[in-house]
Amino acid sequence: MDYFNPSVAVPHQPFIVSSLAGGLKFVRLIQPDSIDFNIVSEWLDFCKSNHPECIERSVSINVENLRLIDCNNRRIVPACNHQYVSLSYVWGAPTKGTRVEDFTQVLPDDLPDTIEHSILATRALGFRYLWIDRYCIDRRDRTVFEAQLQQMGMIYKNSILTIVATAGNNDAYGLPGVGARHRRPQPFAHVDEHFLVSSMSDPTSLIKTSIWRTRGWTYQEGCLSTRRLFFTDEHVYYECQGSFHSE
């Protein structure tokens, strides 16, 4: 099963925009150091209002012993039917804050960048709760651990959105455009009264060539999710059951 849509852009095709005709009002320049999460929220709101196939697919089903990260106080709390975001990412080699045997009610202060950036992105999108397998599953209780593994598909399916960290090859890389991890600059030039703006790479190509895409477990997480927000080294890409949008 391959849920990615066909190519949505021709890589690095230049656009010429006249400043006399409104200039960059008609072209969105991607900022290397930040993401406009208002745009992402608009994509998500449109889906929630216009895609019955997504609404029906994400009807909440209780997952026993489900716990979430409260992004406001960095504590692990019972789900209690809270709406939540989930994270799909590549762990990589053990790094700071990755000891899963030390299950705790409070997140460590020193988290891998991908985890820390996901908390920031969740809050920037207006959500409070985040599910990350490493911190939300108590592996000390084998019964609970195995039960939640069996319900992993439902956890991702029920989340309002899955953040997919496709850039880099481990959890230390972070989410480009969040925190200190910048994205590749978009080629841009101002010549007389014209702007010359290059499009970025096709996001689906960036996703398909990522380390994340080669791991069966993480790819399955993407397939099971109702809505996905992919973070690449160039831009973010949103995909649900009814539409797709590129930054």
Q: How far apart are the first and last CA of the chain?
A: 25
Instruction: Give the residue-averaged pLDDT of 83-93.
Output: 89
Record the pTM: 0.84
- Residue 114 neighbours by CB distance under 10 Å: 28
More confident residue, 141 or 175: 175
> Judging by DSSP bridges, how do beta strands 75-78 and 67-70 pair with one another?
antiparallel
Mean pLDDT lowest for which of 13-27, 62-76, 129-143? Answer: 13-27
In this predicted structure, the answer to whether residue 133 has a pLDDT above a threshold of 80 is yes
User: DSSP code of 183?
Assistant: P
> Judging by DSSP bridges, how do beta strands 244-246 and 84-88 pair with one another?
unpaired
Q: How confident is the model at residue 94 (pLDDT cuts 50, 70, 90)?
A: low
More confident residue, 3 or 133: 133
pLDDT one-digit tens code per residue, 204-247: 888 888 888 888 777 788 888 999 999 999 999 999 999 999 87
Q: How confident is the model at residue 98 (pLDDT cuts 50, 70, 90)?
A: very low
In this predicted structure, the answer to whether residue 60 has a pLDDT above a threshold of 50 is yes
Q: Which residues contact 206 (CB under 8 A, 6 or more apart)?
A: 166, 232, 233, 234
Residue 44 to residue 50: CA distance in whole angstroms: 10
pLDDT one-digit tens code per residue, 189-205: 777 777 777 777 788 88
Q: What percent of the chain has pLDDT over 90?
A: 43
pLDDT at 153: 87
